[in-house]
Structure 1
Amino acid sequence: MPALRIYSGILVIMSLLSIGSSDNGIGTINDPPYLPSACFGYQDMGVMIAAANEDLYQGGAVCGKYFQVTCTGGTNLGTPHPCTSTPTITVMITDLCPPPGCQGNLDLSEESFSMIADPNAGGIQISYQQ
């Protein structure tokens, strides 16, 4: 039985670590209109939304999931210090990046991007987690 307790303990630790882990990538800005979307068609899901690149989209499995997104810095494509004083937001994935696809990992609505970074930046370094 001690082996079972150790195994159970390892599983608990692994699940806790996966909850708190985040990925790093690029966030870009998506100008309206946001409809139709690949996940919800013409249903309006508000403005705190994002489109995912094909890797994150996973054939629609990520539709309706919430991601916490934090601006961590500039991409050297625009504004050198784009992050705002409130650099973290939560967005719902509502779409797949439109062709030819994202220039990053998440294409944030103009409204959500503006909350965490200067929209003139166009693209930012982000960390994100579900």
Structure 2
Amino acid sequence: MVAKVGSKSLWDNGSICGKKFNITCTGETNKYLLHPCTGKYVVVKIVDYCPECYDDATTFHLHEKAFETISLLYAFDVKIDYVQIK
């Protein structure tokens, strides 16, 4: 699966492009949806930068299928942990 980086500092002029990350949902960002996480993880490859992703407010912009793997799709935005895979 693929993803875009929403963080300008993490994008670092494209140095992260092509790298893989293990991403897990850790919780909600919306107080009305208390348990959005599925308990699963997803591995994504960074393919682009997402300038419309609010500059550092969004770490990763996941493809819909990747997001649906870690969270309820209608959650829209969740807290995550991520680890680069070497």
State the TM-score, normalizing by the size of structure 1: 0.58
Amino acid at match of 1:62: I
Seq. identity, %: 38
More strand by share: 2
Amino acid at match of 1:90: V
Q: Which runs of 5+ in 2 are unaligned?
A: none
- For the aligned residue pairs, the C-alpha RMSD in angstroms reads 1.6
State the TM-score, normalizing by the size of structure 2: 0.85
Query: Aligned runs of 1:1-130 on 2, under 5 Å?
Result: 48-52=1-5, 53-76=7-30, 79-86=33-40, 88-99=41-52, 101-102=54-55, 103-130=57-84
More helix by share: 1
1:79, 1:118 within 8 Å by CA — same for their partners in 2? no
Tell me the distance in 1 between the aligned counterparts of 2:42 and 2:8. 22
Tell which has more relative contact order, 1 or 2 (C-alpha 8 A, sep 6+): 2
- Which is higher, the Rg of structure 1 or of structure 2? 1
1:50, 1:92 within 8 Å by CA — same for their partners in 2? yes
2:53, 2:61 within 8 Å by CA — same for their partners in 1? no
2:24, 2:39 within 8 Å by CA — same for their partners in 1? no
Amino acid at match of 1:93: I
Tell me the distance in 2 between the aligned counterparts of 1:64 and 1:93. 5
